[in-house]
Structure 1
Amino acid sequence: MATTTETATARESNANETIPTASNPYAAAKAALDRDGFVVLPASLFPTFDLPTLRAAAKTLTASARAGEWPHIRTLPKQFPPWPPTPGEHGIWGVQHLMHPSNPSHAVFARSYFDGELLRYVAALIGCGEADLTMELYNMLVRPDEAFELRWHRDDIPASATDEEEVERLAKPGFHAQWNLALFDDASLVVVPGSHRRARTAAERGAPPYEPNMPGQVVVRLQAGEVAFYNNNILHRGVYDPSKERMTLHGSIGTTLGSAERARNVLQHGVGEWAREYDFEDFEPDMRERAKRMRAALVEMGTSSGEVGFYSKDE
């Protein structure tokens, strides 16, 4: 099996500088994620990812989304869901529901999502067994049609939270793993390493929403095929260049141990509306069984959670 390396995060100039290989790559990845709030894994760890095929599928679906033919999109200038089903005058910055059965290339994306090696890392990073994994979301972040930035945020802690509320929420398990798989070189994600373990500092609380130089920030630089896992409650933002191609697969996988808060974060995106329709019959047997088991866990989440609404991030 290929080995992995931890990612150093102290220097923005080389965010992918590595340290000596650990004997247990999964433990090394988890240690880096726990310490820094993100870890970059090299493309060599995932030999079954077919980048040319993924790029072709991504380009076709993105073109449909820009033309208003694919309604599952993220539109400018809106940062959080819900988004309208048409691009509007400002265009899109994301494409949702890559595995939706109505997408002719859904199986291409699903094979990367249910990849055996990826799931081994996911289980290690969450701290659960592979049998406990739950299908969640698979979307794509694309080049915006005009200049666009996301404000500094934590995914499921509102900006209005007090220090005490932040510390209380950050102490709870995340119950999922979240990652970016770059199909082209990407430097859009900006994070503050270690901020997933503490309340915001006075400088962070007082900074403008789109502060370009937050103290300690690091740009996560990905080469095509690399995977960045990151804690969704690390202080982070996105900065997107409309002149540079971007197609980065943005996924999350949870666990059956997850909480009601996690159910809201997942189900607000509408995945429960089509997941039951997916049969995975075109997959090889091992992948098909994994996918069916994880889909069943998602359906159970939706059944037991009821109406969850949308998570407010003070937009």
Structure 2
Amino acid sequence: MDDQGCPRCKTTKYRNPHLKLLVNVCGHSLCESCVDLLFIKGSGICPECGTSLRRNNFRLQLFEDAFVEKEVDIRRRILKDFNKKEEDFPTLREYNDYLEHLENIIFNLANNIDVENTKKMVDQYRKENKEFIQKNRLKMSRDEEYLEMLIAEEEREAKSRRELDMIEVKNEKNKKMKNKEALIDELMFSDLPASAIVAGHNVEIMEEKTTENTAPSSMFSSGTSFGFSKADGKVPVLSDLGEEYIHTPCIFDMLGPVAPTEKDVINNGYLQNIREASDSDRGGGYESRMACQRALTEAMCGLFLDSENLT
């Protein structure tokens, strides 16, 4: 960035850190002072290439390489007319050919290759697809609509969070103000020593914070409520046991041979052709014996199924 500078006055960003470089359609950059000097009448010629330029078409250079700035500007102008989407083509092949043709146009204009014929091609396309171009400018694609919806939703959530934070901060300020006023009143009208009053006031504030941070009693998904014992305030204590749950084993009809048990899988050599579980696999809950038993169960399930006797 320190090597960037104006090609006319030779001022660099190293000498002047506040130097502003402007660029036009030709892709050559000039500093703001040189632009004001050369284009004082509104139009002029580029000192680098001699292209006729207008003052109001200069814009701030965002990229270090002026060629990149030129290509971005050309791409932005061309895409206003070549605005077809994938859904506008009957096949993916035609859409890819269209994108390739578009990139060839941008490449030719950015590198000054056959510029006149390329501009004629763009003008011809603009005339032949005038109605379609205007229609697509007014219509957003499905992706753009979805993106707009996500942005709007994020903005609403951010606004809601900011409002809640502001309310919380305001409530906290009001609470501190009330505690301060209560402390002042107590210091004024109480006969106790000031140190004892301040200490008692601090204890009350700490108790309030502890009460706010203590989670309220809740209940399990079955409806059984639970709380905390008063002895230590840490151990959950069931307050409503409800009816005793009786486990009933599931009846699984495999319609096939009985699958080997986990013990059979280990003792009968089933694991010889199974990849051994690594430490990371075991950390994620994977065991080779479990995978082997499940594969054998799935292989044997339904082998005795008779489709003719199905009702």
Same fold (TM over 0.5): no
In terms of fraction of residues, the more strand-rich structure is 1
Normalised-by-shorter TM-score class: under 0.3
Q: Higher relative contact order by CA 8 Å / sep ≥ 6: 1 or 2?
A: 1
Structure 2 length as normaliser, TM-score?
0.18
In terms of fraction of residues, the more helix-rich structure is 2
